[in-house]
Amino acid sequence: MVGMGSVNELGDYLRARRAMITPRDVGLPDGADRRVPGLRRDEVALLAGVSTDYYIRLEQGRERHPSEQVLRAIAGALRLDGAAAGHLFRLGLPVIATAAAAPTVAAELLRLMDGMRDVPAFVVGAAQDVLAANAMARELYRGFARYDNLLRMIFLDPFAREFYADWDNAARTAVGNLRASSSQFPGNERIERVVGELSVRSPAFTGLWARYEVRPRTREDKHFRHPHVGELRLHFEALAVTGAPGQHLSVYSAEPGSAGADALALLRRSAEQDSAPTGQGTPIQDTPAAEGEFRS
């Protein structure tokens, strides 16, 4: 399992990130005789203003106490954005205790989703488990065998290839988001279980996980192919639940008068026909998150 439980996770991260930067990206000559993908270790050292020997020791795990100044220089050399640089600091600097990820959804948030009758809304946890969902969200994802964990659905359910118009982007985005969550909650047992299971069962996941891209998903435009409604082009927003660390309220919406809005109206009619009498904003009680398992 790349990057989970590694004895040298900082080194793993540095190697993965420098492999994704070309000399041309940083203004260095790009010769034809290069033996490694991306930058060499001496090139990263040069760009960061540290000795090659020091950088090699850092990457090999023989230097375990870099300063914040050195990490900032390396982040700049590797062209890391805010989320990726933040992960580098968490790996390289003394660990600061973080709040544990919240496993259950507050009743107040469930009531809020009850009132969101025109848009799909659901709550995901740190490991991307679907913890609660309204009727619109259940209807949106109805083609999946299980509506339980977004990573499992994307990588292990064949329906995902039909549902996501751009499956490659959906997969890469989901893995980057899980990386960001694993950075925020290091050692989280549930995240490690999800990563372990997917690493065994999905080569596609393993390849993306090894890229070490840390990209929290907060907003984007999505294109779905629903088995009953057809094409849906929706805007996605993930809103952090401040009272529950690791939880996000995910909401899909569309511009009024757009084709996406018309598709949502169809989705609502379908959801109303199938909605359970218990209400819309209900916990997902039959998921692996609730049972403590991870299965397809």
Give the integer Cα–Cα distance in Å for 103 and 173.
Answer: 23
- pLDDT value of residue 131: 96
Predicted TM-score of the model (pTM): 0.78
243 within some domain:
yes
Q: Both 257 and 119 in a single domain?
A: yes
- pLDDT value of residue 274: 73
- pLDDT value of residue 49: 93
Closest listed residue to residue 125, CA positions, set 101, 146, 148: 101
99 within some domain:
no
Q: Both 129 and 240 in a single domain?
A: yes
Range of 53's domain?
9-92
Q: Both 159 and 287 in a single domain?
A: yes
Q: Both 64 and 172 in a single domain?
A: no
Q: Both 255 and 226 in a single domain?
A: yes
Q: Both 79 and 113 in a single domain?
A: no
Q: Both 151 and 237 in a single domain?
A: yes
Among residues 59, 92, 125, the one where a domain terminates is: 92
Lowest mean pLDDT segment, chosen from 42-46, 161-165, 284-288 = 284-288
Q: Both 171 and 284 in a single domain?
A: yes
% pLDDT > 70, the chain = 88
113 within some domain:
yes
- The span from the first CA to the last CA of the chain, in angstroms, equals 19
The sign one gets for the Cα dihedral 154, 158, 163, 168 is positive
- pLDDT value of residue 7: 79
Give the integer Cα–Cα distance in Å for 166 and 224.
Answer: 8
Q: What is the pLDDT of residues 204-223, one digit of tens each?
A: 999 999 999 998 888 999 99
205 within some domain:
yes
Query: Is the pLDDT confidence value at 289 over 60?
Result: no
- pLDDT value of residue 223: 96
101 within some domain:
no
Q: Both 151 and 204 in a single domain?
A: yes
Q: Both 59 and 125 in a single domain?
A: no
The CATH number of the domain holding residue 54 is 1.10.260.40
98 within some domain:
no
pLDDT band at 277 (very low <50, low <70, confident <90, very high): very low
- pLDDT value of residue 1: 45
Average pLDDT for 234-254: 94
The CATH number of the domain holding residue 178 is 3.30.450.180
Among residues 40, 68, 92, the one where a domain terminates is: 92
4 within some domain:
no
Q: Both 73 and 119 in a single domain?
A: no
Token look-up 């070309």 returns: 22
Query: Is the pLDDT confidence value at 280 over 50?
Result: no
3 within some domain:
no
DSSP string for residues in 82-146: HHHHHHHHHHHSPPPP-PPPP-S--HHHHHHHHT--SS-EEEE-TT-BEEEE-HHHHHHTTTSS-
pLDDT band at 231 (very low <50, low <70, confident <90, very high): very high
Among residues 28, 58, 92, the one where a domain terminates is: 92
pLDDT band at 124 (very low <50, low <70, confident <90, very high): very high
pLDDT band at 42 (very low <50, low <70, confident <90, very high): very high
Q: Both 77 and 125 in a single domain?
A: no
Query: Is the pLDDT confidence value at 87 over 50?
Result: yes
- pLDDT value of residue 60: 92
Average pLDDT score over the chain: 87
Q: How many domains does the chain have?
A: 2
Residues 130 and 148: beta-carbon distance below 8 Å: yes
Pairing of strands 248-253, 121-124: antiparallel
Query: Is the pLDDT confidence value at 38 over 50?
Result: yes
